[in-house]
Chains A and B, each alone.
Chain A
């Protein structure tokens, strides 16, 4: 299957700082990327959908000013958690799709964010 690389896999940051998470499609061009948040023992909660070259579409209840998403190229999307707080600590995972048709989305390895 296609490869999606997410970096970093783990990050610890201080309250008030910003953290950037990268999601790269290594062997295909991702027209659409999804960002999810997952709490322990819970399902994946979709945060936003980003299409290359356009603004991300955020799900209801997700603060767009806090979770900045940039999909600047067909192989890279970034999620920046701004002014992080301990309640932002979570597992963030991206997925990418190269065809809005009928293909599955491929997932990155996920990023464990801990805000102290």
Chain B
């Protein structure tokens, strides 16, 4: 079964507007971490943001924020004020913690391709 689901294969946004990339996850582990990575056409994976399952507040890093809704098991990435350089693939990932039976190995979603229009 898919542990990470990204339902949007492609998204388009106008420059300077905000965009939300969806991510839902499946785990029975009480302790886990959620990540978002950006992969530009060059191929490198760039870490954007992290949310721990016990974190009370939504994570934010500059223009990136993670809308964490634990009961719904969703961890959507919000990019504010989109820039042309934000065009890339975006991957959501989850790591279940070994203390409660997980393996610490991150599992990735299928990714969402974001294109920012001028």
| A→B interface (CB under 8 Å) | 1, 32, 34, 41-44, 46, 49, 91, 93, 95, 97, 100-102, 104-110, 112
Contacts and interface: CB of A to CB of B under 8 A. Distances in A.
Nearest 8 CB-CB pairings of A with B? A107-B45, A110-B43, A109-B44, A43-B110, A44-B108, A43-B108, A100-B104, A104-B47
A43 B91 CA distance: 8
Given A43-B91, A43-B110, A104 B45 contact: no
Contacts of A106: 47
Contacts of B97: 102
Contact of A107 (B44, B104, B113): B44
Contacts of A34: 105
Contacts of B33: 102, 104
Interface of B: 33, 35, 37, 42-47, 50, 52, 91, 97-98, 104-106, 108-111, 113
A93 B45 contact: yes
A95 B39 CA distance: 14
B27 to A, nearest CB: 15
Given A44-B45, A105-B106, 7 more contacts: A41-B111, A42-B110, A93-B45, A104-B33, A108-B44, A109-B44, A110-B44
A105 to B, nearest CB: 6
Nearest to B89: A41
